[in-house]
Structure 1
Amino acid sequence: MISSNAKAYLAVTSALGLALAAAPAHAQAQAVPAEADAPFASNDIIVTAQKREQNLQDVPVAISVVSGDMLERANVNSAEQLFQRVPTLTFRKGNTNKDSALSIRGVGTISFSSGVEPSVSTVIDGVVYARTGQQTSDFLDVERIEVLRGPQGSLFGKNASAGVINIVTREPGDALGGYVDAAWYEGNEYRIRGSVGGALSNSVKASLTGFWSQYDGNGRNVFNGHKVNGYEHWGVRGKLIAEPTDALKITLIADYSKNSDNGYADSIGTVFPSAFNNAVFIPSLAPLVLNGKNKDIDNDLDPYTKDKNSGVSGQFDLDLGGATLTSITAYRHWYNFQQRDGDFRSDAPKYVNTGTASGDVRSHDRGDLKFDQFTQELRIASSNPQFFEYVAGLYYYHTKEVDFFNRTVTACTASTLPTVGGLTPCAQGSSTYTTNEGNADFTTKLTSYSAFGQGTLNFTDAFRGILGLRYTEDKVSYDFARRSTSPTAFPGVNPAFAASGSIKDHGWSGNAGLQYDVTDDVMAYGMYTRGYKGPALNVFFNMQARDTGRIDPEKSNAYEAGLKTRLFDRRLTLNLAAFYAKYNNYQANFLDIVAGQVVTRLTNAGSVSTRGVELDFNAAITDDFSLSGGFNYTDAHINRFICPTGAAVTCADAINGKPLPFAPKYKGTVTMDWRLPLNLDGFNVDLNSSLVYQSKTNFDINQNPNAFQSAYAIWDGGIRVSTADDKYSLSFIVKNITDKQFVIQRIPNGTSFMRQITPRDAERYFGVTGRVNF
């Protein structure tokens, strides 16, 4: 039930803006300060998508931009929620951060393997994050987020075959200042952030930002009464900028964050009838209500995940006159620990195990990883308008991941109790229990070298040609050893196995296109892009001899045509893009069976394609009222699926032509910002409202008919009261006003039941934030 405060707030929002309800802050939000006489929502957005500062409307690439201010107003704090603000972006949440994945235009790599890279590259202040799980912590001091849609192989490398999320944090100001804000949301969610920065001398300025956040969770473990799907996060980030001469700029950044999550829990949504389920599984789960709305669990092992992320980077920009030389050196470390209950019950084993796929066993998983990466980029970019403008450089990338994983399985193998209804119950003192476990240690290393360049030929003031090329050398190596207490497979664990090896490959990626300024405010472009994603290895806990083969590089051919316009005295930007891309040797996860339990296997799944149309807009209707948003139609589907050799699950032709997982066909967002004309002396009152719509979404490449989320729409609203000088502000927000429940992951577990993961924003809640700027 929503609180009385929230009801009062809803009445206010309805009265002021029901007819204007719009939606999650998406593309082309305000990303740079507006001039004093500019509209409430400025359309002048500067991006660094091409590794140089450019106006968004001049870049021949489809880009969505979300400002840090907009993220803060909407309580969007991580990549998990960002997909609500960018129509072509989807987020796949795993049981732990290490298993999460991002997709753009329906394309992304979803895998538990340590030997494969993501298809969507995340870049923060010029540093590539090699794993999606490294950037699932809270956003901190974000200036803007640029989402580049489609392959970006020339400038961003092999792990950008589907797109790039380019996050730019705020720079310290010249004057000493900062802010402190604190927030409370229903469900005992608290957030505190603070930052201080400014000039330390005439040539040095610095900032230090920190945050702490806590949330009890939106589910409960009925076994012990503990809350689940909550968290406690904290972190700090420091940035120092020195300009010892007019020609040299040095940027040093260091950060550390620690996440403790009491999740992510697999709650049971549906249990399908069977002899085992009817007699054992369903009764064991009582008092859980097994339906699509269930958020609770019954586990004798609480879900838990811990992450520690840290890193340092140094960027040197040297002005050479007609060009700028840039060097970015970075080191990052990531530690992840996870534990989960693999049998989803607190009373297993309750009966003698029959040895079938639905055997009655207790299964617990624990694991950790240590991930280190070092990157070095050296590039040169022309700095003055000229006939030939260019960016060129060299890039080195090395990662090392060390994993440990344990699965412990206990079964009742014999009992002296009488058999009733074909089942023999077990109890201490009258039964024999057998515990087996598998332990795996594996190390995976990836090394990459590349050279890249992109040039723009200004044939006339209005007509340009673009040509880019990147050459990449890749090496992936691994060592793997799994020990088992059983000489044969038992539920969820293969017998002992050891292997090692390495693979090498190389590839070309690039782009070519034309750009034409139809008028000063209308630009048209067409682009061809060749994408490349390096080779991979299927290194995971249950790997066996059939998994040691190479996963070939993924290659793509993409085409995009777009129109970027500024209309009505530049109060409206309206951008359109049409795209088509085909991926060969697509690297994807395939659900398979190991000793009766579902596992995932990485494979070259064959060929897939994505095509569609996208629209972004930003309209300053008046100086105090703006609308922004976007819409996309995406048809991402499997052209030809290659069933892995030896797979226990039938596939092949059955899924050809079917949609890719995590690829809704329709998605749209609209956001409204309105400075209310209340004429309050010394105060401003701003109303914001947002709406996001997403069509039916499939979650399983095998096309399980129960692994989908039906279409839904989410409506948010907020009011901000601030002093005229913006020193003090108080914001009230309601998330998911209509209390629409949805999930961002449903996983079929064999043929017996379905699991679901429910996000924070899948229920209505109310919050308030206070902020002081100084």
Structure 2
Amino acid sequence: MMQPRQQGEPTIEQGGNDMQHAKHLRRLAAGTAMAVMGLSGSAVAQNSADGGFLLEEIIVTAQKRVQNLQDVPVAISVVTGDQLEQANINSAEQLFQRVPTITFRKGNTNKDSAISIRGVGTISFASGVEPSVSTVIDGVVYARAGQQTADFLDLERVEVLRGPQGSIFGKNASAGVVNITTRSPSSTPKGFAEASYYEGNEYRLKAGVSGPLSDKLSGLVTGFFSHFDGNGKNVFNGHDVNGYERYGARMKLVLDATENVTFTAIADYAKGNDNGYADSIGTVFPGAYQDQIFKPSLAPLTPGAKNKDIDNDLDPKTRDKNSGVSLQADIDLGTAAITSITAYRHWYNYQQRDGDFRSDAPLYVATGAAASDVRSHDRGDLSFDQFTQELRIASTGQNFIDYVAGVYYYTTKEVDFFNRTVTACTATTLAAVNGLLPCRAGASTFTTNEGNADFTTKLKNYAAFGQATVNFTDDFRAILGGRYTEDKVSFDFARRSTSTAAFPGVRPAFTATGTTKQDGISGNAGLQYDFADDIIGYATYTRGYKGPALNVFFNMIGTDTLPISEETSNAYEAGLKTRFPEAGLMLNLAAFKTVYDGYQANNLELVAGQVVTRLTNAGSVSTRGLEADFTWAASRDLEFNGGVSYTKARIDKFKCPTTNPTCADAINGKPLPFSAKWKGSVTADWRLPVDLPNGDLNLSNTVQFTSKQGFDINQNPNAVQSGYSTWDAVLAWTSDDDKYRLSLIAKNITDKQYVILRIPNGTAFMRQITPRDSERYFGASARVNF
């Protein structure tokens, strides 16, 4: 979706990259190893001289070289920064609205969030495991999924590489890669300011300046501030929940030191203060405790599928600080190019949560049917640091053999603290009521216990990688790549407890240390053939690898010190990439099958009456399906783009925990969590036939569909979201000179309610997390470019 405008010099909205980096494109050619230099990611459909839509090429860096999307033998979805901004898509959490193969698992805090691609992703509370979907921003791998939950800022484009990427990216990319490129400085002084407001007191402010600072140095600075009250209430104190307040800035400097040497320095900082996502209560199951204690004490809150409110005496809270610096050097050697990326990142996260989900617990003696009636409060924080260094060389121009090769070093350290405080009613002088012993101050005895844990997890990774494309003819080529990886993970852990026995949700004191080390080989091979100038077919095999893990979490015990084995995969993909310029159509198709062994996943279990999660090698799983991405410039005033996917992600052979050795009968052959069978998204962008003297009026409509999906690997039938569709629309006026833009935005017009997570709390009730976009709301945005 592009806003129609007259051809001319690029605006800061595009990053000014077309002119600024034309020189780099000429210098380094299409095969350069510049992973992320902010090269112009041409929109899916560009505009003709009269403002209409035309089919144009899409430039990507998905294989760490500048290439046309249609030439890359990988299934890739591309969304431009303009498209995301105009649709009010502001974070990775909302990407599924434009990229059907993505699912975002939102936890109570950003620490517990994760992305899945083709139904596969790592979901864990443990600090010693990495995600299966790698997030890469400007060439820098983000080691934890929680690091990439900050608001999007200054994006040029988002490339979603589907399936294992074993050679080029390798690190934590066993299910796919979200490769993000931010905008680069413009060749002339430019700036912009933008303000948006939406129902629910949500507002966003952004501003930036860009341009040359000298003959050789150019720069860009952009800042943002956003606020949302929230879509729910805490009935205990009237406070808003599920809202946020965030701000941050990004700076990028590009220095053309010589004709052949370019340096790019990037610094960014973002801070977030969230009051959610809260555990709202959905289904409450029948039972003495639930009927006589839990449900009545929630009043005036009413549990149910549409409930967004909570009744907590401890408000949910998350605090995040993300910052980082990177330096990229690109050296043109003539027949090859060298790229070095050095980066450091820091992430701090604080979270607090009411674990009993009520404001007046405990009401009854914690024995028998009332065993869950305790007050439980959780607080924790983490400090995470990572350093990465990548050095690679790539051929330039067109050769019989085009190649990219390099080495990679990666080290992380996470320091965690977690506290759980539990108060229980242990005795009472009051008489039983319906078989339950009530508690009341002055007549009952209350006991408080707490557990505190300090734990540190370290990871080191060394890798060497390479990939070559052999051009046998102009139309026929072979691809061969490989990566050697060495991982070492270590931890130390100490939990202190005021009780020598387990109490609700807390095990006794425990200390441990441990280390695991593993070498791994991953790679890919494939064939590619050009059936015609605009019809390309490919078939590939990829060996995926994800390193070993350690199950380091608050409630770990002796059996958790054993390492979690590596996760490997065998992936097969065949695809067809086509363009029909005369019809204005681009259509890309892919069929895939991937089998994972040693799949790393969470399993739920009860600890002293409360649900906890345990990381495990869950066994063998597989995912297979068909995908299509398309763009159709139907006329100079009308364009369609979108995609559809059919994915069958299944648990083939589940490895049951010792606490439930017969669980496989209920799990084998069942869907993986967060794996909808059908997903699709279609956007229609229409320049309205309205004669305006100073600009164009554009109407964009997006319809997104997701079929039924479950959230529990144990296949709890209540932890399921039924299929749903949403409809968004944007009506935008853009001035002829592209200086001004005014937009009216409608989200979820049909007011379709849905959740992005349901969590079974034993056999008592279901908790659920409801996103911002699960209700209808309206907004407006104004932008000025100068």
Q: Is this a same-fold pair by TM over 0.5?
A: yes
Q: Distance in 2 between matches of 1:41 and 1:688?
A: 17
Residue 467 (structure 1) aligned with residue 467 (structure 2): no
From 554, 560, 570, the counterpart of 1:541 = 554
RMSD over equivalenced CA pairs, Å: 1.3
Tell me what 1:243 maps to: 256
Which piece of structure 1 moves more, 561-570 or 266-275? 561-570
Tell me what 1:252 maps to: 265
Give deviations 1:338-390, integer Å, cap 9, x for gaps.
00000000000111111667431000000000000000000001111010000
1:81 aligns to what SS in structure 2? Answer: helix
Give deviations 1:313-332, integer Å, cap 9, x for gaps.
00000000011100000000
Tell me what 2:4 maps to: none
Residue 734 (structure 1) aligned with residue 755 (structure 2): no
Contact 2:289 2:369 in 1 (8 A): no
Tell me what 1:193 maps to: 206
Give deviations 1:379-432, integer Å, cap 9, x for gaps.
001111010000000000000000000000000111222222222222222211
Q: Distance in 2 between matches of 1:532 and 1:710?
A: 33
Q: Distance in 1 between matches of 2:309 and 2:661?
A: 30
From 700, 715, 729, the counterpart of 1:703 = 715
Tell me what 1:434 maps to: 447
Instruction: Supply the AA of the counterpart residue of 1:677.
Output: P
Instruction: Supply the AA of the counterpart residue of 1:372.
Output: D
Contact 2:127 2:414 in 1 (8 A): yes
Following superposition, the deviation at residue 677 of structure 1 comes to 2.0
From 364, 367, 383, the counterpart of 2:380 = 367
Following superposition, the deviation at residue 644 of structure 1 comes to 2.0
Instruction: Supply the AA of the counterpart residue of 1:724.
Output: D
From 517, 530, 534, the counterpart of 1:521 = 534
Tell me what 2:397 maps to: 384
Contact 1:83 1:91 in 2 (8 A): yes
Residue 671 (structure 1) aligned with residue 676 (structure 2): no
Q: What residue ranges of structure 1 are gaps of 5+ in the alignment?
A: 1-27
Contact 1:357 1:597 in 2 (8 A): no
Following superposition, the deviation at residue 671 of structure 1 comes to 0.3
Task: Report the identity percentage.
Answer: 69
From 281, 300, 314, the counterpart of 1:301 = 314
Contact 2:641 2:682 in 1 (8 A): yes
Tell me what 1:684 maps to: 696
Residue 662 (structure 1) aligned with residue 686 (structure 2): no
- Cα distance change on mapping 1:217 and 1:467 into 2, 3 Å: same
- Cα distance change on mapping 1:370 and 1:293 into 2, 3 Å: same
Q: Distance in 2 between matches of 1:38 and 1:429?
A: 77
Tell me what 1:117 maps to: 130
Contact 2:252 2:264 in 1 (8 A): yes
Q: What residue ranges of structure 2 are gaps of 5+ in the alignment?
A: 1-40
Q: Distance in 1 between matches of 2:455 and 2:693?
A: 65
Tell me what 1:16 maps to: none
1:689 aligns to what SS in structure 2? Answer: strand
Q: Distance in 1 between matches of 2:238 and 2:736?
A: 47
Q: Distance in 2 between matches of 1:537 and 1:138?
A: 30
TM-score (norm 2): 0.94
Q: Distance in 2 between matches of 1:385 and 1:212?
A: 45
Following superposition, the deviation at residue 32 of structure 1 comes to 8.8
- Cα distance change on mapping 1:496 and 1:649 into 2, 3 Å: farther
Contact 1:41 1:625 in 2 (8 A): no
Residue 398 (structure 1) aligned with residue 411 (structure 2): yes
Which piece of structure 1 moves more, 345-354 or 762-771? 345-354
Following superposition, the deviation at residue 38 of structure 1 comes to 8.1
1:98 aligns to what SS in structure 2? Answer: helix
Residue 585 (structure 1) aligned with residue 595 (structure 2): no
Q: Distance in 2 between matches of 1:441 and 1:521?
A: 58
2:582 aligns to what SS in structure 1? Answer: coil
From 252, 271, 275, the counterpart of 2:284 = 271
Q: Distance in 2 between matches of 1:424 and 1:275?
A: 12
Q: Distance in 1 between matches of 2:641 and 2:591?
A: 20
Residues 607-686 of structure 1: matches in 2 within 5 Å?
607-645=620-658, 647=659, 651-686=663-698
Q: Distance in 2 between matches of 1:484 and 1:187?
A: 43
Contact 1:317 1:326 in 2 (8 A): yes
Residue 326 (structure 1) aligned with residue 339 (structure 2): yes
Q: Distance in 1 between matches of 2:46 and 2:566?
A: 43
Q: Distance in 2 between matches of 1:295 and 1:703?
A: 24
From 85, 88, 93, the counterpart of 2:106 = 93
1:95 aligns to what SS in structure 2? Answer: coil
Following superposition, the deviation at residue 653 of structure 1 comes to 2.4
1:721 aligns to what SS in structure 2? Answer: strand
Contact 1:234 1:257 in 2 (8 A): yes
Following superposition, the deviation at residue 623 of structure 1 comes to 1.7
1:156 aligns to what SS in structure 2? Answer: coil
From 134, 148, 172, the counterpart of 1:159 = 172
Give deviations 1:629-655, integer Å, cap 9, x for gaps.
00010000000000123x258512221
1:528 aligns to what SS in structure 2? Answer: strand
Residues 329-340 of structure 1: matches in 2 within 5 Å?
329-340=342-353
Contact 1:743 1:759 in 2 (8 A): yes
Give deviations 1:701-744, integer Å, cap 9, x for gaps.
00001001000000001100121011011100100000000001
Contact 2:42 2:59 in 1 (8 A): no
Tell me what 2:493 maps to: 480
2:315 aligns to what SS in structure 1? Answer: coil
Instruction: Supply the AA of the counterpart residue of 1:721.
Output: W
Q: Distance in 2 between matches of 1:160 and 1:391?
A: 18
Tell me what 1:693 maps to: 705
Give deviations 1:220-268, integer Å, cap 9, x for gaps.
0000000100000000000000001110110000000000000110000
Give deviations 1:33-86, integer Å, cap 9, x for gaps.
656478525431100001011000010000000010000111000011111111
- Cα distance change on mapping 1:697 and 1:357 into 2, 3 Å: farther
Q: Distance in 1 between matches of 2:681 and 2:509?
A: 50
2:492 aligns to what SS in structure 1? Answer: strand
Following superposition, the deviation at residue 138 of structure 1 comes to 0.4
Tell me what 1:411 maps to: 424
Tell me what 1:171 maps to: 184
Instruction: Supply the AA of the counterpart residue of 1:638.
Output: I
Contact 1:398 1:447 in 2 (8 A): yes
Q: Distance in 2 between matches of 1:471 and 1:642?
A: 28
Contact 2:55 2:585 in 1 (8 A): no
Contact 1:29 1:66 in 2 (8 A): no
Contact 1:437 1:484 in 2 (8 A): yes
From 752, 761, 766, the counterpart of 2:764 = 752
Q: Distance in 2 between matches of 1:401 and 1:31?
A: 40
Give deviations 1:144-167, integer Å, cap 9, x for gaps.
000000000100013000000000
Q: Distance in 2 between matches of 1:282 and 1:382?
A: 66
Instruction: Supply the AA of the counterpart residue of 1:665.
Output: K
1:452 aligns to what SS in structure 2? Answer: strand
Q: Distance in 2 between matches of 1:233 and 1:282?
A: 35
- Cα distance change on mapping 1:294 and 1:41 into 2, 3 Å: farther
Tell me what 1:30 maps to: 43
Contact 1:746 1:755 in 2 (8 A): yes
Give deviations 1:555-586, integer Å, cap 9, x for gaps.
00000000000014261100000000000000
Q: Distance in 2 between matches of 1:747 and 1:413?
A: 28
Give deviations 1:490-509, integer Å, cap 9, x for gaps.
11001110000100001100
Q: Distance in 2 between matches of 1:33 and 1:308?
A: 37
